[in-house]
């Protein structure tokens, strides 16, 4: 059975109140839409993933979902959700072969509980449509102008969730026959006279609508992450005539550091700490000094890569800390700028980055001013 999924990301998310639609907001280091897409694909049943986004956002969505199996080029949605789903269905209808089953999922739902998709597909053996839903547990009130008008009986009421599953031909026909807007695709099937079966929903299948929803999902998903600690150490000799670059900041100094790249000893140590926490070797593995293309390179790109490896593993950076060991230059006046630069490169809040310095009381090569050393530590939270 061929199964495709429409990932609906064309909404503006105005109720959330953020500067960008909620599906693009970061959640544990990755955008919400990426979590939603990976959740759809996790069970292996879905073989085609068709994103539907706002017009003009196609390149952005393609980049955020790059590398996922079965990913199709994003389709521009319409003015309403129903119109957007229709455009996604029309795109899938042009494929050969046409999918037998289609799932429709909100990009603002980053969690698809285990077993949900399997239950939906099993329900399609008895109906043309199936949705996950939960019984309404709270007392319902209908109100006007802040005053309760009546209490609504909750018996038989359910909260609908996504992904919703449909026989592809039946859903496409329902959309083509639609003469009014429906609240979801299941309602279109109801209006077409099709039976829609319910399967058990879950409290963990949260649709992010308000800021507190994002916090709740982050806390929920964070429980599945395990801490991993890495350390890094690097040394570079003093070299006259080169700029002094430390933790991504050019520090005024009459000398710089010797190295194949820009010799940013602080960033090099921090990269090793991150790679070490991931058990992915060291900076030399990813950026060998034997390769000419890294000669004089800005070490900032190395740190961006290290952070991307954390995200690729589904992890987040909890905090990092760098200590520079030198007699000169004085680090204190530049520490705040270094913190800000490292935070920007890592994509984390500045409060998660520590930068400090110490001398070795004129002992050793750093004390004699022959070089600068750096040690770093990184705490990551990564799926076990």
Read off the pLDDT of each residue in 357-374 and give the average, rounded to a whole number: 94
Q: Is the pLDDT of residue 43 over 80?
A: no
The residues facing 232 across adjacent strands are: 376
Cα 121 from Cα 36, distance rounded (Å): 19
Q: Is the pLDDT of residue 258 over 80?
A: yes
225-383: same fold as 3-219?
no
Contact 23, 33 (CB under 8 A): yes
User: b vs e for 241-261, b when ≥16 Cβ sit within 10 Å of the residue's Cβ?
Assistant: ebebbbbbbebebeebbebbb
In which band, very low, low, confident or very high, does the pLDDT at 155 lie, cut at 50, 70 and 90? Answer: very high
In which band, very low, low, confident or very high, does the pLDDT at 135 lie, cut at 50, 70 and 90? Answer: very high
Q: What is the pLDDT of residues 63-84, one digit of tens each?
A: 999 999 999 999 999 999 999 9
Q: Is the pLDDT of residue 223 over 70?
A: yes
Q: Is the pLDDT of residue 170 over 70?
A: yes
Q: Is the pLDDT of residue 13 over 70?
A: no
Superfamily of domain 3-219: Spore Coat Polysaccharide Biosynthesis Protein SpsA; Chain A (3.90.550.10)
Domain ranges (residues) in the chain: 3-219, 225-383
Residue 318: count other Cβ atoms within 10 Å of its Cβ: 16
∠ CA 124-130-132, rounded to 5°: 135
CATH architecture for segment(s) 225-383 = 2-Layer Sandwich (3.30)
Beta strands in 184-315 (DSSP E): 196-200, 225-240, 244-246, 249-251, 255-257
Q: What is the pLDDT of residues 197-214, one digit of tens each?
A: 999 999 999 999 999 989
Mean pLDDT of the chain: 93
Beta strands in 107-175 (DSSP E): 129-135, 140-144, 147-152, 158-160, 164-167
Cα 78 from Cα 10, distance rounded (Å): 8
- Looking at residue 36, its pLDDT comes to 94
- Looking at residue 98, its pLDDT comes to 96
Read off the pLDDT of each residue in 94-119 and give the average, rounded to a whole number: 95
Q: What is the pLDDT of residues 319-346, one digit of tens each?
A: 999 999 999 999 999 999 999 999 999 9
Q: Based on the number of CB atoms within 10 Å of its own CB, is 353 exposed (0-12), middle (13-18) or buried (19 or more)?
A: buried
Cβ-based neighbours of 201, under 8 Å, separated by 6 or more:
116, 132, 133, 134, 158, 159, 160, 161
Cα 8 from Cα 5, distance rounded (Å): 9
**Percent of the chain beyond pLDDT 90?**
84
Cβ-based neighbours of 192, under 8 Å, separated by 6 or more:
170, 173, 174, 177
Read off the pLDDT of each residue in 155-178 and give the average, rounded to a whole number: 96
In which band, very low, low, confident or very high, does the pLDDT at 315 lie, cut at 50, 70 and 90? Answer: confident
Beta strands in 252-345 (DSSP E): 255-257, 316-325
pTM exceeds 0.75, yes or no: no
Q: Based on the number of CB atoms within 10 Å of its own CB, is 142 exposed (0-12), middle (13-18) or buried (19 or more)?
A: exposed
Q: Is the pLDDT of residue 218 over 90?
A: no
∠ CA 66-67-70, rounded to 5°: 100
Contact 303, 316 (CB under 8 A): no
Which stretches within 140-249 are classed as H helix? 168-177, 185-191, 211-222
CA atoms within 13 A on the CB side of 4: 28
């Amino acid at each position: 059975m061929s199964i495709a999924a429409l990932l609906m990301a064309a909404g503006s998310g105005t109720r959330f109140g953020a500067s960008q639609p909620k599906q693009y907001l970061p959640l544990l280091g990755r955008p919400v839409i990426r979590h939603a897409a990976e959740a759809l694909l996790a069970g292996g049943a879905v073989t085609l993933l068709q994103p539907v986004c706002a017009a003009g956002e196609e390149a952005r969505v393609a980049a955020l979902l790059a590398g996922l199996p079965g990913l199709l080029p994003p389709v521009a949605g319409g003015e309403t959700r129903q119109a957007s789903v229709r455009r996604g269905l029309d795109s899938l209808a042009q494929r050969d072969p046409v999918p037998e089953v289609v799932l429709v999922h909100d990009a603002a739902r980053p969690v698809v509980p285990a077993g949900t998709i399997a239950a939906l597909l099993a329900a399609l053996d008895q109906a043309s449509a199936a949705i996950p839903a939960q019984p309404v547990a709270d007392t319902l009130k209908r109100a006007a102008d802040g005053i309760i008008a009546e209490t609504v009986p909750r018996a038989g009421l359910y909260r609908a969730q996504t992904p919703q599953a449909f026989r592809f031909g039946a859903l496409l026909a329902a959309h083509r026959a639609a003469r009014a807007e429906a609240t979801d695709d299941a309602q279109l099937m109801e209006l077409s006279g099709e039976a829609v079966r319910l399967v058990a929903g879950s409290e963990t299948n949260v649709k992010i609508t308000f800021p507190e929803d994002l916090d709740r999902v982050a806390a929920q998903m964070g429980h599945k992450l395990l801490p991993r600690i890495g350390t890094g150490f690097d040394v570079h000799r003093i070299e006259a005539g080169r700029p002094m670059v430390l933790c991504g900041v050019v520090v005024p100094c009459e000398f710089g550091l010797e190295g194949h790249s820009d010799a940013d000893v602080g960033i090099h140590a921090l990269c090793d700490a991150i790679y070490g926490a991931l058990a992915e070797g060291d900076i030399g593995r990813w950026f060998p000094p034997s390769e000419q293309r890294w000669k004089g390179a800005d070490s900032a790109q190395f740190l961006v890569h290290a952070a991307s490896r954390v995200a690729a593993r589904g992890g987040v950076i909890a905090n990092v800390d760098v200590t520079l060991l030198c007699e000169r230059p004085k680090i204190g006046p530049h520490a705040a700028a270094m913190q800000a630069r490292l935070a920007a490169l890592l994509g984390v809040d500045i409060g998660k980055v520590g930068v400090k310095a110490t001398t070795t009381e004129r002992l050793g090569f750093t004390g004699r001013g022959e070089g600068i050393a750096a040690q770093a530590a990184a705490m990551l939270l990564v799926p076990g």
